[in-house]
Amino acid sequence: MTKYKPQLIVALDVDTLYEAKGLIDVLGRDVEIFKVGSQLFTACGPVVVRHLLKAGKKVFLDLKYHDIPNTVANAVRAAVNLKEGSQGIFMCTLHTAGGREMLKRASEAATEAALAAKVKRPLLLGITALTSDEKKDSIGQFVLKKALLAKECGLDGVVASSQEAALVRKHLGRDFMIVTPGIRPAGAEADDQKRITTPSEAQAQGSDFLVVGRPIVKAEDPREAARHILKEMGR
């Protein structure tokens, strides 16, 4: 069992910059880290990242890069250069399915770009298995194999459901980051997620960061929903 409290990441899974700014304003006192995924980034591009950085927030850029090594390395360089002053993005994701060379090139590119841009190198996280995937008997070993590959290639952690987090933590140690999506407060609907978990369960399994989207952003009172989850995490 983890001996610390994991951090909450709110996924800004909305269609417009206007909606995103509204949520950032409402949640800003309670939430430090916000996720920008393909939905919002496609809609409004880097402007939302820079808005968050100007607001003093940490950005989890979740674009799940997966392409030939050179293309992904250049994408990571571009992501590192999304900055405001000395503050750059906090973390970003790559698909481990891209293979060893792609992951290593991305890691090297992140280090080089951060040094050149004079920002802290973002945490690089490998995507293992999506939480919308059906659970199979072998998925734990599949996720562990992908996590080992990520670490060997210089990544800082993985994105994995809490159902695999304990296994990853056991084999890869305390310093390897685990980000867990599919978080739902007790009694909430699963939506399209197949492998969900409550905040307290994810904490017990060793997750470092818990990603919550719809239960907060679609709530009648997003701030109260976020505070409810933070309270559950603090138990």
Residue ranges of the domains in the chain?
7-233
Q: Distances in Å between the alpha carbon of 114 and those of 69, 77, 95?
A: 18, 8, 21
> Binning pLDDT at 50, 70 and 90, where does residue 15 land?
very high
More confident residue, 133 or 167: 167
Q: Is the pLDDT of residue 1 over 50?
A: no
Among the ranges given (110-114, 196-200, 208-212), the one the predictor scored with the smallest mean pLDDT:
196-200
User: Catalytic: which of 57, 58, 64, 83?
Assistant: 64
Average pLDDT of the residues in 144-157: 97
Is 64 designated active site? yes
What is the rounded CA–CA span in Å between residue 16 and residue 39? Answer: 9
Q: What is the dihedral of CA 45, 100, 123, 210, to 10 degrees?
A: 90
Average pLDDT of the residues in 3-17: 88
235 CB-near residues (< 8 Å, 6+ apart): 200
- Model pTM? 0.91
CA atoms within 13 A on the CB side of 145: 8
Q: Per CATH, the architecture of 7-233 is what?
A: Alpha-Beta Barrel (3.20)
